[in-house]
Structure 1
Amino acid sequence: MAWLAVTTVSAPCMDVNIVGDGRIYGNFFINHNYTGWNEDGTQTEDTVNFWQRFRLRFDFKAHENLSFRLGMRVDDENWGHGTFTADAPEVSIEAYLAYLQFKWPDTDILVTAGYQPVSMPQSEAFYDSVVMANDDGDQSTAALVISSPLWEDVLSINAGFTRFLDTNGAFDTDTTQVGDEFDAYFMNLPIALEGIKLSPWGMVGILGKAADLDDMRNGLTSAGSFLPPNSREYNQTPYWWAGASMELEVLDPFKVYADFVYGASANALDSSRRGGWFVDAAVEYTGFDFMTPGVYAWMGSGENASLADGSERLPVVMPKWGPATSFLFDCDQALSDASMETDPTGTIGFALALKDISFIEDLTSRLTFAMVFGQNSSAGIRRALAVTGGNGGYMTMGQQLAVGEQLVGVNFDHYYDLYENLTLNLETGFAQGFGFQNNVWGRRFAEAAGPAWKCGLGVTYTF
């Protein structure tokens, strides 16, 4: 989302810029998760919900080389619940940005330290990183990042350290030291030549044995790691990723995009290891001034039939990925609660899109069609469900796909500028799953699966 600065408050040696946004919308959603239930099938989702989010960002700028950014928000919450309940019995205001940024004196070295958005390189055709994304500044991590040009405007470097979590904080639970952190070190080298952008990158992580991964666990671990703990497992487990992102404009008016990444863990136990790859590519035609057609494809390694050798899918930390804002994937939709949340790892697929359709002044539309095919062994998923507590835990029907299962998704979205700072959003989507297997997900889930429909209508105000 673009920010528009409109307020400058003068103070001794300081400027304060204030920007923000608010979105209010309603969602009509039938058969979320293809069943209308929550992921483990214990609750039924309301068909109609009204949502609201607001954010404020403050930039405290001492001078052009020194500033601090603070972002506060009430994140997406539905009306009548939490903050948006009558008389507000519960208020959920949180800091989502808090970082210092400065240039080292007499150099072009930029230092950014604090709670900040960090993302691994990914071509813009797929929105953000399949491994670690910042979600347009809305998904942060505590990090220290150093950036510097190396060779004029051709080559630069971004390197940093992030602590994703420290379960016990500054003190462990007793006098015996225990690895309860998840740390990572990363670097990328953006290269910009005429008509070509290339960003090779790498990241190394160290995961403590006692770290509570919570929501990150399913993306980083294997099903075998859910089995009873074994004392032979490492106290500090290494993870590593290596990849590259490319954007090619020398074939103008065609733009070509491609990404590749491989990642793996090195657990002591083979059953706890996870390692795999993911690749995507796209071609967009920019020769029209009224729309941008594109073709998108991807493929990721899938699970085999055994749990003994761990997981064969790419490990991911904070992903946000999707081709042309497909309704099947949680990516760059203007509204939240707006996708089927398909996991792209362990799949192969393609999408066709008409983006930036503009025949009427101030109205922009997008039409996207996508198909996804499972790459995971049916036996592998069935065994994973058996050791992880069933559907909705480590794997969920319709989010992870077995070989022989497919998804089709279509979305037709519209954005109309009522004013320069106020946009009316209409997002519609349809998704259908095919071939969900009784002997994998269970008869109750597979036979309840049906088409999903969504219509979201709301306004977004930026100031």
Structure 2
Amino acid sequence: MKKIYAIALLGLMVLGLAATASAADIKATGKWQIEATMQNADFLDKGAVSEDKTFNIEQRVRTAFQFIANENLKGVLDLQIGSANWGTGAFSIGAGRSGNLTGTGSLAAGNGNIMLRKGYVDFKWPNTKVNFLVGFQTVSLPAAFGGGSAILDDQVAAAVVSTPITDNVKLLAGYARPYDANSAYATTAGNLTGAGTSTDVVFAAVPLDFKGVNITPFAAYASIGSTTAGAMTGGTALPGLATGNSSATEGARAYWGGVAATVTALDNFKFMADFNYGKATYNQGGNSNGGRAGWMADIAVDYTGLKMMTPSAFFVYSSGEKGNSTDGNSDGSHRMPSLGNPQNWAVGSFFFGDRNFINPVPANAGYVQRVMGFWTAGVSLKDIKIFDKMSHTAHLLYVKGTNDKKFLTENTGGNINVAGVANYGGFLTTKDSLWEIDFNTKYMIYDELAVNLDLGYINADFDKDVWGSSSKTNAADLRNYGSADAYSARLGVAYSF
């Protein structure tokens, strides 16, 4: 009899758990991508050793779940497997079956382990319109053009609050901690203790939304610890903050400000413009001149009056480095600092990256934090529709550097190659330029399944005398083999649901 009661009690517990689990509605979304890539994107002639000249098939699986309690409360869990090439990492034989014997922390879980992209709670304060996002989430500062912010646009641990002030004015503010080297789960040896191990960021934006006009001013401040990037690694070694006169023991104080504006008041025209400024001052024991400061601005216009396509024209300018002969570089770097690795900012779909594909360019080029110090002008024909279920996009752009060529040979401070500060193929001097042309095609097999074919070509002119006489990354290859144009052909399927 007691066994019957025990079984009945267990059954009631299971039913209770099932009822608890069904209290939240679950909605799944995601994007699963498999892509074949053939490209030469290092701008080096034949003979130079380069992995990106090989043929690769990459895969990335992103799946997100919303656990919806009601219209005022939900939890979001976003997971990812990959990105990795077929045959390596998450997509090799045995991936995930056993731990990585050479790794610690999360690396010991095996090569096929799942990565957390987002995990946060989204809720409104009762009886108000004040909304909170608390947890690991995507934080992006305002941007009208380019697809995302060039300062901060990444997944980060944060708490964000937003509320309407009037029908046309909204307030958004938040706190984020993008880095903390003091972690029991650190994948590098030597957990750190004490002050200086973390980076703390506060930010705010005020969207002003009127009929046909949206203007959003914003500001951000970061306190960056001297060992924030990892065990015995300074905060100024982070990619978006590093420069020629930084060292591994320094932290920094940084701030940014800017405005994003979109105007649609004129029929058939959409105008977009951004202005961003940032400054990072290094903690150098009294040397207040050390650091990094610069700006970036853009303007673009779309013509929306055509049914078969949307023509667009744009211009972008960012400040660049000066040479020692000009000012001794005593006032630091002249490129705008950034936090993290801005994931979405791009013009064209090759040199600056491509939001549709997984890894379109090698690490030494492409990402805006590494190529900052340029100007570009171009035109795009977006969403060309001639055949049913098929669309095309074409880009033509010219890019030229704004960095002084003397910066490569005359800068004598620090490790200038750290995190791609001045890598050949990504850093453009005033003597370097390139033309890019892209033609991208998307065919919808089903409403949720697309086949993408992206073709890109870059005619590059990197000054051999400038780069060949330097000691920067790949300079020896340039001296030995010379420069070359870049090409990219990418074919993939993307299942979005």
Give 1:119's aligned residue: 140
Indicate yes or no: 2:309 matched with 1:291.
yes
Partners of 1:250 and 1:425 lie apart in 2 by 34
Letter in 2 for 1:183: D
> Amino acid of the residue matched to residue 486 of structure 2?
A
Aligned residue in 2 for 1:316: 338
Matched residues in 1 for 2:206 and 2:354: separation?
25
Deviation, 1:127, is 0.7
Matched letter for residue 48 of structure 1: F
Cα shift at 1:131: 0.6
Match of 2:149 among 112, 129, 145: 129
Q: Structure 1, residues 23-46: CA drift from partner, whole Å, max 9, x if none?
A: 11100112x221289xxx775335
**Quick one: distance in 1 between partners of 2:428 and 2:56?**
28
Matched letter for residue 286 of structure 1:
T
Distance 1:390 1:334 in 2: 27
Q: Which residue of 1 aligns with 2:433?
A: 406
TM-score of the aligned structures, taking structure 2 as reference length: 0.82
Contact 1:13 1:63 in 2 (8 A): no
1:32-111 to 2 correspondence within 5 Å?
32-35=41-44, 44-88=51-95, 90-111=111-132
Partner of 1:350: 377
Asked if 1:168 corresponds to 2:182, the answer is yes
User: Aligned-pair distance for 1:324?
Assistant: 4.5
- Structure 2: give runs of 5+ residues left out of the alignment: 1-18, 98-110
CA deviations over 1:195-235 (Å, ceiling 9, x no partner): 10111000000011121167972311321013x75xxx6xx
- Other-structure match for 1:439: 469
**What is the rounded CA distance, in whole Å, between the counterparts of 2:161 and 2:260 in structure 1?**
20
1:245 to 260, 268, 278: 260
How far residue 407 of structure 1 moved from its aligned partner, in angstroms, is 1.7
Matched, 1:260 2:260: no
1:175 and 1:157 map into 2 onto residues whose CA distance is: 37
Q: Post-superposition shift, 1:421?
A: 0.9
What is the Cα deviation at residue 185 of structure 1?
A: 0.2
Question: Is the Cα–Cα contact under 8 Å of residues 225 and 271 in structure 1 kept in the other structure?
Answer: no
Q: Return the letter of the residue paired with 1:166.
A: D
CA–CA distance in 2 between the matches of 1:103 and 1:289?
40
1:29 maps to which residue?
39
| Alignment check: 8 A CA contact 1:320 1:330 kept | no
Q: 1:390 to 1:345 in 2, by over 3 A?
A: closer
Secondary structure of 2:351's counterpart equals coil
Q: Taking structure 1 as reference, are residues 412 and 459 closer, same or farther at Cα in structure 2, changes over 3 Å only?
A: same
Return the alpha-carbon distance in structure 2 between the equivalents of residues 24 and 321 of structure 1.
19
The equivalent residue for 2:102 is none
In the alignment, residue 292 of structure 1 is paired with which amino acid?
T
Q: Kindly, what percent of the aligned residue pairs are identical?
A: 27
Deviation at 1:87, TM superposition (A): 3.7
Alpha-carbon deviation of 1:176? 7.4
Q: Residues 391 and 91 from structure 1, CA distance in 2 versus in 1: closer, same or farther, beyond 3 angstroms?
A: closer
Q: Distance in 2 between matches of 1:237 and 1:280?
A: 27
State the match for 2:13 in structure 1.
none
| Structure 2 contact 346–353 (Cα < 8 Å) conserved | no
Cα distance, 1:384–1:422 mapped onto 2, change above 3 Å: farther
SS at match of 1:34: coil
> SS in structure 2 opposite 1:192?
strand
**Cα distance between partner residues in 2 of 1:210 and 1:278:** 28
Query: Are 1:147 and 2:186 an aligned pair?
Result: no
Q: 1:168 to 1:13 in 2, by over 3 A?
A: same
Q: CA deviation at 1:11?
A: 4.3
C-alpha deviation, 1:403, in angstroms: 1.1
> Unaligned stretches of 5+ in structure 1?
1-8, 134-138
Match of 1:106, SS?
coil
Among residues 320, 326, 341, which one is paired with 2:366 in the alignment?
Answer: 341
State the one-letter code of the partner of 2:178: F
Partner of 1:156: 170
Partner of 1:182: 199
Aligned equivalents of 2:255, 2:446: Cα separation in 1: 47
Cα distance between partner residues in 2 of 1:45 and 1:174: 35
1:328 counterpart = 2:356: no
Aligned to 1:210: 227
Q: Which amino acid counterpart does residue 146 of structure 2 have in structure 1?
A: F
Q: Cα distance, 1:97 vs. partner?
A: 0.8
Determine if contact 2:34/2:58 at 8 Å carries over to the other structure.
Answer: yes
Structure 2: distance between partners of 1:319 and 1:390:
20
Residue 381 of structure 1 and its aligned partner are, at CA, apart by 2.6
CA RMSD, 1 decimal: 2.7
1:309 is matched by which residue type in structure 2?
Answer: D
CA deviations on 1:66-95 (whole Å, 9 max, x unpaired) are 111011110211101011112435313111
Query: Are the equivalent residues in 1 in contact too, given 2:44–2:477 (CA < 8 A)?
Result: no
Task: State the shift of 1:391 in Å.
Answer: 8.9
Whether contact under 8 Å (1:342, 1:398) holds in the other structure is no
Q: CA offset at residue 385 of structure 1?
A: 8.0
Structure 1 position 61, deviation (Å): 1.1
User: Structure 1 residues 429, 194: closer, same or farther in 2, change over 3 A?
Assistant: same
In our comparison, the structure showing a higher alpha carbon Rg is 2
- Hey, which of these two has a bigger chunk of strand by percent? 1
Say whether the 8 Å CA contact 2:261–2:274 is kept in structure 1.
yes
Report Cα offsets for 1:293-345 as digits up to 9, x if no partner: 11110111111113322101100113245455432112423443357516442
User: 1:126 aligns to what SS in structure 2?
Assistant: coil
Structure 1's 10 and 144: CA in aligned 2 closer, same or farther, altered over 3 A?
same
Q: Distance in 2 between matches of 1:110 and 1:217?
A: 32
**Which segment drifts farther, 376-385 or 88-97?**
376-385
Distance apart, 1:10 and its partner CA: 9.5
Residue number in structure 2 paired with 1:193: 210
Contact conserved, 1:326 with 1:370, CA < 8 A, in 2?
A: no
CA contact (8 A) 1:97 1:115 kept: yes
Q: Could you tell me how far 1:175 is from its partner in structure 2? A: 10
CA contact (8 A) 1:163 1:182 kept: yes
Q: Distance in 1 between matches of 2:185 and 2:78?
A: 28
